[in-house]
Amino acid sequence: MIERAGTNAGMGTTVDRPPAPGAARSRRRLVAGVGTLAVLLVVAAALSLAVGARALSLAEVWHGLFGTPDADQRLSEFALIVRTVRVPRTVLAIVAGVALGAGGALIQGLTRNPIADTGLLGVNAGASFAVVTVIVLFGLANPVQYVWFAFLGAGAAGVVVFGLASLGNGAGSPLTLALAGQGVAVFLAAMTTAISLTDQASLNALRFWNAGSVAGVGFDVIWPVTVFIAAGLVLALATLPAVNLLNLGDDVARGLGVNIALSRTVGVVAITVLAGAATAACGPIAFLGLMVAHVARYLTGPDYRWLVPYAGLLGAVVLLACDVAGRVVTRPGELPAGVVVALAGAPFFAVLVWRGRFRSA
């Protein structure tokens, strides 16, 4: 902050302020928090590689990951499980968790609304609608086939929402954006249901799609999704300083030199790409973004430059942990990660809310 000298009678001296003693400490704490979350992420990833219908020890996981293919029969069995099943779903859980967590925090910042979730911009509804539509039109049966249609649907919904929100008197206000998103989402959900009720194949696919799972997707899908999410993260991080200022109100932000329309547009594009790519690969995972955004805000305070990365890491840890838990609780079956996120996360979140840990966005 620059303190200006001599402009005001009341405070007319130059103040060369030393950094506040608390600032360095809190920064150290924030960095330590990132380290802790990273450690948690590694632990959760290790668990995710080891736990499942066929439990593996960490040594077996290690062999499976790095063992040479010309070893004995048993080693190649580990390798098969780890490389074709466990690694893809672990990577997808991390990538999607980061995307949904960061997206959830960013949408709360952009709309200045503490109950905004990544589905708010119609992304989930657009993806579901696209899935149902292509099943009815082209008779696709394999989830891998409709991943890209889902992504297209999510993107199209995001574009429509943003276009609607840019029209009329309330153009560009956070509230208009949120309401346009909600309207489009409800409309698309109604269309999705109407279609799925007339076509049993799409209803059948829709119920599994809606559960939200990180399993069963290969690297042919995961790598492109990761590229999109990485691009979305770059956009999201670039817009964070502006989001901080936008939360002071549009007038203040404009006075401080923020290009409001540009930063909002970049933010909305980032959220659409993040949530759209994650939803396309996993199906809709509700509640994760909202929950980790609040927990991250409690840990970091209102500075979005810390809040969004924290939320991303937390999202990855929570989604991984929920996926692992889903493999254990209903052996030999599995609970989809999206169901576990709500069943396990929501009560925990409600307790934190009750204890008064959270403030509004």
Partner 1 sequence: MSGTAVRRTVTPGIRLGGASFVWRPWLLGVTLLLAAAVFLVFCLSVGVGDFPIGLPQVIATIFGRGERVDEFVIMDLRMPRALAGLVVGVALGVSGAITQSVARNPLASPDVLGVTGGAGAVSVFLVTASGGTAAAITGSVGLPAAALAGGLGTGLLVYLMAWRRGIEGLRLVLIGISVSAVMEAIITWLLVTADIRDVARAQAWLIGSLDSRTWDEVSAALWCALPLLAAVAYLAFPLRPMHFGDQVAAGLGGGAAGGDAPGAARDTAAGGLRADRCAAADRRGPGGPHGAAGLPSGRRGHRRDRRPVPRLPAGTGEPQAGGLTAISKVSLT
Shortest Cβ 180–partner 1 spacing (Å): 11
Q: Is 136 in the site for partner 1 (CB under 8 A)?
A: no
Tokens representing 108 are 């709360």
Label residues 78-104 b or e (16+ Cβ within 10 Å = b): bbebbeebbbbbbbbbbbbbbbbbbbb
Q: Is 73 in the site for partner 1 (CB under 8 A)?
A: no
Q: At residue 204, what is the residue type?
A: N
Q: Would you say 55 or 171 has its CB closer to partner 1?
A: 171
Q: Is 171 in the site for partner 1 (CB under 8 A)?
A: no
Shortest Cβ 119–partner 1 spacing (Å): 11
Q: Can you tell me whether residue 272 is helix, strand or coil?
A: helix
Q: Would you say 64 or 104 has its CB closer to partner 1?
A: 104
Count of other CB atoms within 10 angstroms of residue 333: 9
Q: Which residues contact 230 (CB under 8 A, 6 or more apart)?
A: none
Shortest Cβ 225–partner 1 spacing (Å): 22
Contact 310, 284 (CB under 8 A): no
Over the window 263 to 292, marking each residue x when it contacts partner 1 by CB under 8 A and - when it does not, the resulting string is -----------------------xx--x--
Shortest Cβ 351–partner 1 spacing (Å): 9
User: Cβ-count burial of 200 within 10 angstroms (0-12 exposed, 13-18 middle, 19+ buried)?
Assistant: exposed
Over the window 290 to 329, marking each residue x when it contacts partner 1 by CB under 8 A and - when it does not, the resulting string is x---x-----------------------------------
Candidates 89-97, 149-157, 229-237, 330-338; binding stretch for partner 1 (CB under 8 A): 330-338
Tokens representing 98 are 């980061």
Contact 61, 46 (CB under 8 A): yes
Q: Is 166 in the site for partner 1 (CB under 8 A)?
A: no
Shortest Cβ 177–partner 1 spacing (Å): 11
Q: At residue 98, what is the residue type?
A: V
CA distances from 353 to 277, 347, 356 (A): 30, 10, 5
Computed over its alpha carbons, how large is the radius of gyration of the chain?
22
Q: Is 106 in the site for partner 1 (CB under 8 A)?
A: no
Shortest Cβ 347–partner 1 spacing (Å): 7
In angstroms, the CA 98 to CA 312 distance is: 4
Shortest Cβ 151–partner 1 spacing (Å): 22
Beta strands in 122-245 (DSSP E): none
Over the window 177 to 216, marking each residue x when it contacts partner 1 by CB under 8 A and - when it does not, the resulting string is -xx--x---x------x--xx--x--xx--xx-xx-----
Contact 213, 336 (CB under 8 A): yes
Q: Is 347 in the site for partner 1 (CB under 8 A)?
A: yes
Q: Is 360 in the site for partner 1 (CB under 8 A)?
A: yes
Q: Is 129 in the site for partner 1 (CB under 8 A)?
A: no
Query: How large is the angle between the packed helices 288-300 and 304-329, nearest 10 degrees?
Result: 130
Per CB under 8 A, residues contacting partner 1 are: 111, 113-116, 120, 175, 178-179, 182, 186, 193, 196-197, 200, 203-204, 207-208, 210-211, 286-287, 290, 294, 335-336, 338-343, 345-347, 349-350, 353-354, 356, 358, 360
